[in-house]
Amino acid sequence: MSHRHDVRRYRGLGPFAALFFLWLYLPIAVVIFYSFNENRLVSVWSGFSLKWYAAAFNNDALMNAVRTSLIVAVIATTCATIIALMAALVLIRAEGVRFRRISETIVNLPLVLPEIVLAVAVLILFSQIGLANGFLKLAIAHTTFCTPFAFLPIRARLQGMETDFEDASADLYASSWTTFRRVTLPLIAPGVFAGAMLAFVISMDDFITSNMLNSGGATTLPVYIFGLIRQGTTPELNAISTLIILVSLGVAALALFIQSRGGSMTDG
């Protein structure tokens, strides 16, 4: 690569990049650091302690919120990934599909709409049809806005994959289902997994829709954390945030690892 186009040789880029990452990650580092503070006052360091992590795990209300978020996220991720996979296969692989662009726009519409609009819309819909089950309302709403997040990686994977293997499978008299199960799905599996993990993280992170649909026994983790913040910041909240950061990093690392493995296998 020519030195003229090497961005590392641009003057001032290094300090600017360092300042940017410092501004981006310093608040996260502060949260993690003070989660080990023995003092109840967040900004006053008085010694190292793990008692706030123990308090978080012994908090029944917190554990119920985590359980609710996990159940809703797993249901929404499963449903959204299946819907996104079927939509991607139809829009990318099927021939003669009418209104392809309009259909793709409809699938991605929750990405364009402000979330508060979508939350109000599903709230009115559930009120009109008389749906009262909190878990079911959350699962349906989360599936709706998670579907485009699962759709985009799957669509990108399908668009970047040649049809040679699928054509060869058809030439060997394999059925459409066998071709999908034995050829297409293994090749796009990294994209499917990346879409599922993205949908899972988005569901776990959602606050606006979950807060609008919040009802007794269906309080998600972000809604519970917001309730804690209104009462004042405590080291227990820092401990919860640190655990969420670690889980998010683990999910992201796993997704990147599987995507890189899938890319190397495809190249090989």
Q: What are the pLDDT digits (tens) for 82-118?
A: 999 999 998 888 777 788 888 888 888 888 888 899 8
Question: For residues 69 and 257, which has the higher predicted lDDT (pLDDT)?
Answer: 69
pLDDT in tens, 210-219: 988 887 668 8
- pLDDT (average), residues 28-40: 86
208 exposed, middle or buried (CB, 10 Å; 0-12, 13-18, 19+)?
middle
What's the token pair of residue 245?
Answer: 């950061």
pLDDT at 1: 46
Q: Which two tokens stand for residue 31?
A: 């949260």
Which structure tokens are listed for 267? 């190249």
Query: What's residue 73's pLDDT?
Result: 92
Query: CA–CA separation, 242 vs 260, rounded Å?
Result: 27
Could you confirm whether domain 51-267 is CATH 1.10.3720.10? yes
For the cut 80, the answer to whether the pLDDT of residue 3 exceeds it is no
In this predicted model, what pLDDT tens digit does every residue of 127-179 receive, in sequence order? 888 888 878 899 999 999 999 999 999 998 888 888 888 888 888 888 888 88
Identify the pLDDT of residue 166: 83
**pLDDT tens digit sequence for 188-236:** 888 898 899 889 989 988 999 998 888 766 888 888 888 877 776 677 8
- Beta-carbon contacts of 171 under 8 Å, excluding residues fewer than 6 positions away, are none
Domain layout of the chain by residue ranges: 3-34, 51-267
Instruction: Give the pTM.
Output: 0.81
Grouping H, G, I as helix, E, B as strand and the rest as coil, residue 268 is coil
At which residue do the structure tokens 């690392």 appear?
253
